[in-house]
């Protein structure tokens, strides 16, 4: 039995170092690997979010603030109502869920994922740069998002406060991109 474990460990390490597995984002996982990653993700998020207590997410001020945060930080990957794709989204694997459609993501899970991110998916952890209150505002907005039309989405984003914590990024040629919404 010990010899079998040693051989299995040796083969596993050999596989990892071989470089055979296609790791590029333009090559999908095998069904077995995809099942393993999704199962690990779902159970890990469920376990870690189980004791989270959500605040009242019906406050309209919170929802409007979340709309601005979503437009600034999330819509490029998760899209908005009426949008089918973006260049960034098209290059990601796994493809991020379209949050403008109904998803099975619960409130606690949405908070945990937004705060902590998901390894190897392109989903950043917003907890280091945003307070829990700001993250809850995004979650409050996410609960309203699937029922919105493109016009309703554009209107609520236009009312949202500017995302003042964004860093002004230098652009090619020395110009500076202004933070906020266009």
Tokens 């929802």: give the residue: 63
| pLDDT tens over the chain, length 182 residues | 999 999 999 999 999 999 999 988 889 999 999 999 999 999 999 999 999 999 999 999 999 999 999 999 999 999 999 988 999 999 999 999 999 886 788 999 999 999 999 998 999 999 999 999 999 999 999 999 999 999 999 999 999 987 655 444 444 444 444 443 33
Q: What is the token pair recorded at 21?
A: 């597995």
Angle at 135 between CA 47 and CA 69, to 5 degrees: 140
In three-state secondary structure terms, 113 is: helix
CB–CB of 169/75 below 8 Å?
Answer: no
State in words which class domain 44-50+58-162 has: mainly alpha
pLDDT recorded at residue 175: 44
- Enter the tokens of residue 166: 């964004």
pTM: 0.82
Confidence at residue 163, expressed as pLDDT on a 0 to 100 scale: 63
Residue 104's pLDDT is 83
Listed by start position, the domains of the chain span: 44-50+58-162
> To 5 degrees, how large is the angle CA 104–CA 109–CA 111?
125
- Count of Cβ atoms closer than 10 Å to residue 78 Cβ: 21
> DSSP letters along 160-177, please?
SPP-TT----B-GGG-BP
Place of tokens 């694997």: 93
**Residue 118 backbone dihedrals phi, psi, to 5 degrees:** -135, 120
Residues 6+ apart with CB under 8 A from 164: 179, 180
């Amino acid at each position: 039995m010990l010899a079998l474990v040693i051989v299995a460990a040796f083969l596993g390490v050999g596989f990892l170092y071989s470089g055979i597995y296609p790791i590029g984002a333009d090559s999908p996982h095998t069904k077995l690997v995809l099942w393993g990653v999704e199962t690990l993700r779902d159970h890990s998020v469920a376990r870690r979010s189980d004791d989270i207590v959500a605040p009242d997410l019906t406050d309209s001020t919170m929802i409007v603030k979340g709309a601005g945060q979503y437009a600034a930080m999330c819509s490029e990957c998760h899209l908005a109502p009426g949008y089918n794709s973006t260049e960034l989204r098209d290059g990601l694997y796994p493809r991020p869920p379209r949050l403008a459609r109904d998803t099975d993501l619960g409130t606690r899970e949405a908070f945990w994922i937004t705060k902590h991110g998901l390894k190897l998916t392109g989903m950043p952890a917003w907890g280091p740069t945003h307070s829990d209150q700001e993250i809850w505002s995004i979650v409050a907005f996410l609960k309203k998002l699937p029922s919105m039309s493109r016009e309703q989405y554009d209107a609520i984003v236009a009312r949202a406060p500017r995302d003042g914590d964004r860093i002004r990024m230098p652009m090619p040629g020395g110009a500076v991109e202004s933070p906020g919404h266009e």
